Amino acid sequence: MNLKMNGRDPSGILNKTRELPDQLLKGWSIGKAMNPDIDIETYRQIVFCGMGGSAIIGDLARLILSDLSLPFLVNRGYDLPSFAGPETLIVASSYSGNTEETLSCFEQAVQKKCAVICITSGGTLQKRAAELDYPVFQLPAGYPPRTASGFGLGVLLSIFESQGSETVNEVSLNESVRFLKGLDSVWSNPENPECLPYQIASKVQGRIPLIYATEDKCQAVGYRWKTQLNENSKSQAFYVSFPEMNHNEIVGWMRHEGIESYYCQLLMIILKLPDDHFRNQMRMDLTQKLVKADGGLVIELKAEGATFLARLLYLLFLGDLMSVYLSYMYKVDPADIQHIDNLKAGLAAVK
Amino acid sequence: MNLKMNGRDPSGILNKTRELPDQLLKGWSIGKAMNPDIDIETYRQIVFCGMGGSAIIGDLARLILSDLSLPFLVNRGYDLPSFAGPETLIVASSYSGNTEETLSCFEQAVQKKCAVICITSGGTLQKRAAELDYPVFQLPAGYPPRTASGFGLGVLLSIFESQGSETVNEVSLNESVRFLKGLDSVWSNPENPECLPYQIASKVQGRIPLIYATEDKCQAVGYRWKTQLNENSKSQAFYVSFPEMNHNEIVGWMRHEGIESYYCQLLMIILKLPDDHFRNQMRMDLTQKLVKADGGLVIELKAEGATFLARLLYLLFLGDLMSVYLSYMYKVDPADIQHIDNLKAGLAAVK
């Protein structure tokens, strides 16, 4: 079975995805070695600029470092918010260094005299940052961005740990990495009957997965599941937050004749943390009951791990591997992102 | 045809939805009459707390008032962010005044000595605010929250207009209201061949609509389409942003055998503004081409109107009315939100 699978993954996306724990350590050491002169207390807000796989590490850091004393905003687009100025710390994150939205924000940050740090493996972003003598956290090159997220996340955690965040330190990171490696020994073999990501992929196959998690504790992981299902599996998938979904989305699960044609193709996947507000945990339980009573399909996944960081990484790693296994089931190449490449070519034709 | 439709809308959701222009004026006058002592320059950030129909007005205001000199964050959940303190202005928005997430944030704001203003029609929020002598912008009672958004939006625009925002003033609001009333004269009659919301509902019927709009200019309207489709139409629907969708979601539109079972039930709806960044407009055009080339279904809707405010309201009103017409086609009561009522009952049973 493994050999056949390898034939469907010529770029080795599975093995790159399995690097997550090692990438976290590498990113952490890159961050510590840089030791740049940043004192976040002197800023009014942090604006993290990036897209896709280079943005999600900002979302993850924002969840993990939720005790920061200033707003940490993730900005996905061409323009900085109007309030950005000398008291704003901009983090420009582009794995390739050539993401046009992030480069646009970078140049606006220069104009507005913001403080700027960069996270990249090269490209124009690295070049411009060198010209202007801005700190660059240099990531190893040669990965599809979505398989390099561990590097950037490790860098971010190391930067903000040194700024006094209490939720992450080297001990908790090392523990989480060991935990992930233990999971990898089971999860990287789909023939292992304990291989949870493979089991989930089997249930997702042929369906539209709707991922639900809490906005304040798990949003980045839920959204990562969605985007990995998109990019790796070539599947539609959506992410919606608790408790907000209880105020609207849940009504979309009320079964009636008009939506019967697609109702049974939807799959509710709930990502649950013991860290979630107890009322949100109740909401998740009640929501499942309602959907199941209407004959809807539901999977609930409870995070394991000794710390909040470990639990988030458990769910992240689970989704990453699941999306690769689903690509095998769909007989598509997980590395293939032809639509994105076509878009870039179309955009490049008109500058 | 109209008579039959009225039979399917015993609570008059269509007519309440049609009140949008008048509600905006009423909300504006409520805001101006209050004239509370707020100087936003003295704060470091605004955190808008609400859920569902009471949160979307915060998202809309954030787009419209994009020239504010400080971050305006919309917080959907039980807890305030860690940075909230005396230099934070909290807007607690709950139409009913009894939304438990918003009440939780309100009490935290009191504890953290934040500045607080409230937008509500009554309930516990009004009672607590009166006890503590906080300003309350009192909305007319008796509406399902999603049909009362005009009141709250009018209030917000009036508050921040007096704080020096240049994008909204009484003249531009009045022009937008006149424009909406002109649209209403055509759009409120589904037998009128020019009734665009009815035409769109016909295309959405039996499909899963995926709404796309730009994050920085139109996010709140795209998300409103999603939630109105959920609540009014009892339909699944999802909102995803440009340009982010070009970095992942677009791959979910790559057609292959594994997703063939649902591919033709998806409907791409793109909401486009002349205010969108020109590269995002290009992205929207290229994205459509790719999806159409794979046989995917696409509708593009271009906003009309003389100002950014008018254009946003055009698309908002279009989506609101469309979702009501779709409920008629589905033969469901647009007022019915049984799943939400069941959830609230379940939550109330365990306090």
CA distances from B342 to A211, A246, B102, B191, B330 (A): 22, 10, 19, 36, 22
- For the record, the structure tokens of B58 come out as 């915060």
Are B258 and A205 in contact, with CB atoms under 8 Å apart?
yes
Provide the token pair at A296: 């809807």
Give the pLDDT score at A6: 59
**Cis bond before residue A135 (omega within 30° of 0):** no
Residue B290 φ/ψ, nearest 5 degrees:
-60, -45
Determine whether B231 is an active site residue: yes
Instruction: Tell me, yes or no, if A247 is annotated catalytic.
Output: yes
Average pLDDT over residues B99-123: 98
Average pLDDT over residues B206-223: 98
Residues 318-337 of A with CB under 8 A from B: 329-332, 336-337
Give all domains of chain B, ordered by start, each with its CATH number.
19-171 (3.40.50.10490), 189-329 (3.40.50.10490)
Report the residue of chain A nearest B246, measured CA to CA: A340
Tell which residue, A169, A173, A162, A156, has the closest CA to residue A62: A156
Chain A: closest CA distance from residue B258 (Å):
5
What mean pLDDT comes out for the span B281-292? Answer: 97
Please report, in angstroms and rounded to a whole number, the separation of the first and last CA atoms in chain B.
Answer: 47
B167 or A81, higher pLDDT: A81
- A274 pLDDT higher than 90: yes
* Locus of tokens 């500058």: A351
Between CA B188 and CA B325 the distance in angstroms is 10
- Residue range B22-33, pLDDT digits in tens: 999 999 999 999
Strand B266-272 to B238-242 pairing: unpaired
User: What are the structure tokens assigned to A20, written together?
Assistant: 């997550």
Amino acid code (one letter) for B129: A
Q: Is A69 on the interface with B (CB under 8 A)?
A: yes
Residue A2: pLDDT band with limits 50, 70, 90: low
Identity of the residue in A227, A231, A254 whose CB atom sits nearest the CB atom of B338: A254
CB distance from A229 to chain B under 8 Å?
yes
Q: Which residues pair with A301 in a beta bridge?
A: A271
Q: Taking residues A230-257, what's their average pLDDT?
A: 98
Instruction: Provide the sign of the torsion angle of the four alpha carbons A230, A235, A236, A237, taken in this order.
Output: negative
φ and ψ at A270, to 5 degrees? -105, 125
The angle subtended at Cα B79 by Cα B78 and Cα B84, nearest 5°, is: 150
Bridge-partner residues for A44, per DSSP? Answer: none
Query: Is residue B106 within 8 Å of B64, Cβ to Cβ?
Result: no
Question: B3-17, B104-118, B248-262, B313-327 — which is least confidently predicted?
Answer: B3-17
Tokens of B248: 């992942």
Rounded-to-integer distance, Cα B64 and Cα B62, Å: 6
| Both tokens assigned to A170 | 């080297």
- Which member of B67, B243, B329 has the closest CB to residue A51? B243
Query: Using the 8-state DSSP alphabet, how is residue A173 labeled?
Result: H
CB distance from B165 to chain A under 8 Å?
no
- The mean pLDDT value of chain A amounts to 95
